[in-house]
Structure 1
């Protein structure tokens, strides 16, 4: 840790100071959680004693920790045994990962309620990161909120975790018996016990892991009674550590619990496990050998050699990074990949980042230190905000940060020396590392971090590399050279595959290659079923380049142009001229015989724009998104309508409104569109439709249908809103499945309502790109499938293998099933039978 100036911690609330020795609780008085002080409060708002990031906040609202940029971590715990109140009497004002200023309110509490229902109102402020400190007020003093209480000496905490090498041992899973999970007291007991062992020890809850010697890390797991936990350890006394800690967990870590279950013995080393599960980031499969990859630590000097010299060094690093990113853009295989590195270039010019770095330079810091401090602090903030999109931006920011840092330090980016048939294992890969992988040697990769929608996943799909993410952390303990089978389609890594599995997988891959070659060769053929029913297959695109690519692969038009590609990953809004020029260029390429469906701006709390101020929202997926945001800022919508209307006449123009849930939203948007068309002198309005992605719109499709020209169903959002499951949630992603009968029933009712009024229906969500779903979508009466560009030949070939009457039969069958898994299985059986009887269409 970097040595810095002493840090003063301010009083988080008003009251009377007490020494920890006087606290009637052996865990706090014994300083098992950490040293600090106690306040008997006279105020009812807990405030931040230092500036930093909220590193944990308990669901019950009674405890919160703040970590500053130097690693000083302070835990505040309101009252004794207040976890038993289940959140009653507490109102958290911040969330985990949020950056807070000193003095900022963190939690409001009802002192009368807490005093009546808990053992005590005494509130603890503890320095849990272990730095020494000096008390600035005597015991018994009356303090006001915001007064200095402690002077901490950062950088002097001695204890570090011993990360001994070796295979990790894992306990068998056990069920947590504590009524309120591992809150501060039992977590402290567990961490204290773990510190008694030399082994590196982790506590695992599903895909989350915590350093077992860190109280705050354990509390951040947010465990509850009944959670399934595992303990892992690596080192000389790993076996003894697991036995002792599992017994401690079973006994309640010092709390009274129901009769403990039998103590479980540690299982065999990780290499004897047979299967690890994650989330599919890129489909496919591979058999190869484990190669663990990690970036070496960089040696960064804090002190600079003079502000002018360090500014010049930073400028050189930024310029060289911009040139390297431009080269990656030029080399990119498609527009999606190019956009990723264009976004990285934008980060190099981000004014807030540069301002933070320059402030450090002014304070005498080195260029490397200044840039690293700015990027790491911002990336950490993004990661902790509970927002999937911002978490992905954090990975991009970390990637850009490392690129510039190496250039400043003069470190050459060397390609990894990889063996043949490598399956890479990493805590996280960056977009830059992924883009530079040698696909002649790398067969796939597995990461602990990342998500199915991350830039790394997009690049993996572009490279054709199977990949899974969200795998338990103990994958990092696999030995190099170990033979494994990666089945990314199922999100599985088989650690002990048998020969039959490998041969079966290889045969399936060979068949897929041959099928793909045939599909591309026949891409120009129409998507018409064997009994003559035509389905329009169009493309989901976000650039002119993707439109051009879609036409070479047999696309019959654009079913979804994501207009936000013009707005995202930049620091200023696109000019009206740039917007109009882009839409017109795309329309000209398509020509007057093809549809162009432009979706208006689909951004909001979950997809923020740097230059459109938006309030943070507790649940951005239920907040100001899509048409809601645009109607709140009508000039934004007017400007976009004017730009889209400039392309009228070049293609069959359609405009589509996202996130419509009320008929009044459609009426307001149509009125604005009509005004703008009139001002431009257009005699004919383009077709206007809405996305069906909110259950209320699907259920009211018969009411909407007379007022629209078409519907397009966004199955991604429709699924997560129907099932109340975040589609990016690492533990729910596999259940947030668009094959669920409830989603299919909403599609069926939408189609029925639309056809009753003579309107067509498309599906532009991910479900349309799944060959397995094509029969049921056709059977439900969907008229258009708008799909991911590379999959156009596959979807068209699938349509040609089908019979409309059979599709209608299988659709009726699956609507009566109970779960998505049953639907998938029924469609797999149907697909197998169809492929066996379908004739091969010659080109």
Structure 2
């Protein structure tokens, strides 16, 4: 491993020209035994072939391939020339880094140089410091701002979770497992409150002392409804310095472009990272693997940059096997900084070019020939191919009928109505004025008028959110820096209007580039004040609002607009721009006006009077064909709302069919703190307590006392002692690793050591959990369920462990059940049923394993529908075996929350359904509306169906609708 030493650096070198400088470098190399004297000739020849000047006063002289035999050992010599050396073409070098290399050991330092070259401050320090130690520190990369570590090992996609807190625990565990945060930082992450960034994207962060700040990602299999909005994906960061800024900038860019949904929809980890790292480039592209053995080091990078400069086009270069974004190929330093190694996949994207295919052909030929270096064959070669770049389709001129246009939920709600576009006034004004005192007076007078108007509004306001925002606007208007900047422009001969708008835009533009989303959205407040004052300065009148109910369409909405809106008139607001944490959004929520933001410029093409559906809860709006279609939707909306309200009112009634058959409807939870909420939704107990999240919430295995306290808290929160708490024993592996447990890396963890299999590897851990469960059992009806059992011998080994612990607690006998989540367990249910008290069918995993579809697969995941005849037949096999052995069957997968499936499961003989809390009222109402004979007929028809589609086409009587 090459180690740059203090003795390799000389700060006082002096040379008359480049030739003498190179001779000095080689002399130092020869003295240190790095090269033979003949290496100097190769260095001079290299300079005639390609300049070794990198930029910002730095050059890297080195030999040719023909003089490699003169290299005795790899090394680097750094010489500093205070007066500067003309390196040709007027390029002045202050620091020359001579390279003698047989291998690629020097490349790490060379790549770090690229960060110095693009950083003016670091380059200047490198050239001027009198401290050798500081030069070492700079060249070793110790002076750089750390960069955010983003890796697919830190990504869990398509995970079966029901609460944001579960995703937080998983993300923190992934970071901890990779050694990227301390135990204290892990705990802080787990206990932190995630920010709802919008469109299902949530963020949480913690400051770290780790030199490698990192990003972990957890995406949910389906949308989770949280109190503050929907959740689909969590970005969890350990932050150090400004490492998070590029990620935040990228998120803000996606938000502004209305493309955050790309993150929530992407299930491929590699593509997810690429979405977060860079903007898609428009143009023709080619992908080719680099055949140069030592990677894209200085010589071939110089060759490539020179070629790109000659091609008369903008050519962007990406390393698809690296972590950085695209760079313009004209910079040697930036090309080196991409860190290409032999075999890495290069992508060239050509823009601003009349003949891109010809350019791509020349690039492909040059890379294939080695860019002046020797070519080494690549195993499993990847043939270059011209590919269209995956970019967004161009904006449509109009919205098609019934086409859903996505946005972000600024304020929740559903609205049906006709569009009315709000057009901002355009301001026309001169730039220059000779009447400086007059302009200053006009500005001060306008300030006074606006300040008085804001204070008058504040004095009459009672809404707390409006009071806070009006107060903030008054303070902004009074900001001396804001006012003085405007007065400064006026003093230089500018008009009040030009001066004011320039001051506003300076501050607003600076803010909206901020990495903090909340600060970035404050730009709209400054522009709002700017607009209000300009109305006064120009003497224009505000556009009158219609008195008829309508949906406001706007490019962006100001807080001052929302304050004036009457929610009985303005039924909803749809904007092209805007953010979910803006003050306009806060005011819309306070006023109860649904607000959909960030829908893109297409909204501005909607004609006034166009009938619209605005569904902020599901983050879209849609143009309907006619007013009559809107009326039909209003009826459906009213009916759905009434149905849910009735179901919610009756949520505490039992789920009993018309003819008296009862089914237990319970909840899935991941912590004791969720029990009370589930009871409020009508849950009759807990059908699945995911105990793994208790383990993930701690930096090491939770203590006996911590476990007992958690289980007792859940039982104590039950409304009655007869409400069950079913605890699933530790279920990690697959998509849920446990960082403090030694778990082998597996190529396919979903078919590996999971659930009960892991418990058998760590029986003492299982015993500790069982002891805690026994100790908590006196608080109520506690049942224990074991996951991922596929063979009766596994169960009997688990039962032996259970019996050992049970002997320590005489007089306490827990009901024992198992998860039916692999086909072998369902097919052998008659064998298992003789030795257990109940089954709980985990339809999510059962579907994955039965249909051989990875739930995270970007193409096939849609086929993983649990309402498939094969799944229902396995459930029927399980129920029949249970009946013969007088035990009961529940279902705790997503299928339980599907209204149609709930009836079918009832008809199959399932007697317990466990689901997320929000689905409980509706499912209970569905069960109460049906006769058990209807359910059996529907179940029979479903079992005979050929496909999922055929089942979903059935009505409640079992007839195809």
Shift of 1:617: 3.8
1:486-501 matches, within 5 Å, as 494-495=622-623, 498-501=626-629
Structure 2 partner of 1:192 = 350
Partner residue of 2:926? Answer: 798
**SS at the partner of 1:797?**
helix
- After superposition, what is the alpha-carbon deviation per residue over 1:147-167, rounded to whole angstroms, capped at 9, x for unaligned? xxxxxx99995889xxxxxxx
Indicate conservation of the 8 Å contact 1:726/1:733, yes or no.
yes
Secondary structure of 1:649's partner?
Answer: helix
CA shift, 1:645, in A, is: 1.4
Match of 2:602 among 478, 493, 499: 478
2:832 — aligned with what? 704
Partner of 1:438: 589
Q: How does 1:345-356 map to 2 (within 5 A)?
A: none
In structure 1, the partner of 2:776 is 647
698-707 or 274-283, which moves further after superposition? 274-283
Which digits, 9 at most, give the CA deviation of each residue in 1:434-493, with x for residues without a partner? 99982755647699xxxxxxxxxxxxxxxxxxxxxxxxxxx6453358575357999975
Alignment of 1:227-626 (within 5 A): 269=397, 271=399, 275-276=403-404, 286-287=415-416, 402=516, 417=559, 421-422=572-573, 438=589, 440-441=591-592, 443=594, 476-479=600-603, 482=606, 485=613, 494-495=622-623, 498-590=626-718, 591-626=720-755
Task: Give a deviation string over 1:280-338, Cα, whole Å, max 9, x none.
Answer: 9999965477999xxxxxxxxxxxxxxxxxxxxxxxxxxxxxxxxxxxxxxxxxxxxxx
Aligned to 2:477: none
Q: Which residue of 1 aligns with 2:295?
A: 125
Give me the whole-angstrom Cα distance separating, in 2, the residues matched to 1:820 and 1:782: 20
1:676 maps to 805
Instruction: Give per-residue Cα distances to partners, 1:764-793, cap 9 Å, x unaligned.
Output: 112112222221011111011122223322
CA spacing shift, 1:97–1:775, aligned 2, 3 Å: closer
Paired position in structure 2 for 1:85: none
Structure-2 change in CA distance of 1:765 and 1:224 (3 Å): farther
SS at match of 2:725: strand
Task: Tell me if the contact between 1:55 and 1:97 (Cα under 8 Å) persists in the aligned partners.
Answer: no
CA contact (8 A) 1:719 1:738 kept: yes
CA contact (8 A) 1:712 1:764 kept: yes
Structure-2 separation of matches of 1:811 and 1:224:
54
Instruction: Give the structure 2 partner of residue 78 of structure 1.
Output: none
Deviates more, 1:620-629 or 1:557-566: 620-629
1:758 alignment partner in structure 2: 886
The structure having more radius of gyration, on CA atoms, is 2
Aligned equivalents of 1:424 and 1:9: distance in 2? 56
Q: Secondary structure at the match of 2:295?
A: strand
Cα distance between partner residues in 2 of 1:753 and 1:517: 39
Specify the alignment match of 1:745 in structure 2: 873
Deviation at 1:571, TM superposition (A): 3.6
Partner of 1:251: none
The structure-2 alpha-carbon separation of the partners of 1:774 and 1:124, relative to structure 1 and needing over 3 Å to count, comes to: same
Task: Encode CA deviations 1:806-836: one digit per residue, 9 max, x unaligned.
Answer: 1111111112222222211214786999xxx
2:360 corresponds in structure 1 to none
| Alignment partner of 1:667 out of 774, 796, 799 | 796
TM-superposed CA distance for 1:699, in Å, is: 2.1
Q: Figure out how many residues of one structure are paired with residues of the other and give that number.
A: 523
Q: Structure 1 residue 803: deviation in Å?
A: 0.9
Please tell me whether the aligned partners of residues 605 and 614 of structure 1 are also in contact (alpha carbons under 8 angstroms).
no
Does the 8 Å CA contact 1:540/1:786 hold for their aligned counterparts?
yes
The answer to whether the 8 Å contact 1:291/1:425 transfers is no
Cα distance in 1, alignment partners of residues 653 and 908 from structure 2: 23
Cα distance change of structure 1 residues 98 and 538 upon mapping to structure 2, 3 Å threshold: closer
Residues 120 and 687 of structure 1, relative CA distance in 2, 3 Å threshold: closer
Equivalent in the alignment of 2:914: 786
Cα gap change, 1:5/1:552 in structure 2, threshold over 3 Å: closer, same or farther? farther
Q: Is the 8 A contact 2:663 2:912 kept in 1?
A: yes
The more displaced of 737-746 and 757-766 is 737-746
Give SS of 1:607's match.
coil
SS across alignment from 1:691: strand
Q: What SS does the aligned partner of 2:777 have?
A: coil
The CA RMSD over aligned residues, in Å, is 6.0
Does residue 657 (structure 1) correspond to residue 808 (structure 2)? The answer is no
Give unmatched runs, 5+ long, in structure 1: 18-40, 58-68, 72-93, 100-117, 136-152, 161-182, 199-221, 235-266, 293-399, 448-474, 834-843
Bigger Cα displacement from structure 2, 767-776 vs 565-574: 565-574
Q: Secondary structure at the match of 2:776?
A: coil
Summarize the Cα distance change of 1:823–1:274 in structure 2 as closer, same or farther, 3 Å threshold: same
Shift of 1:278: 8.5
- Residue aligning to 1:352: none
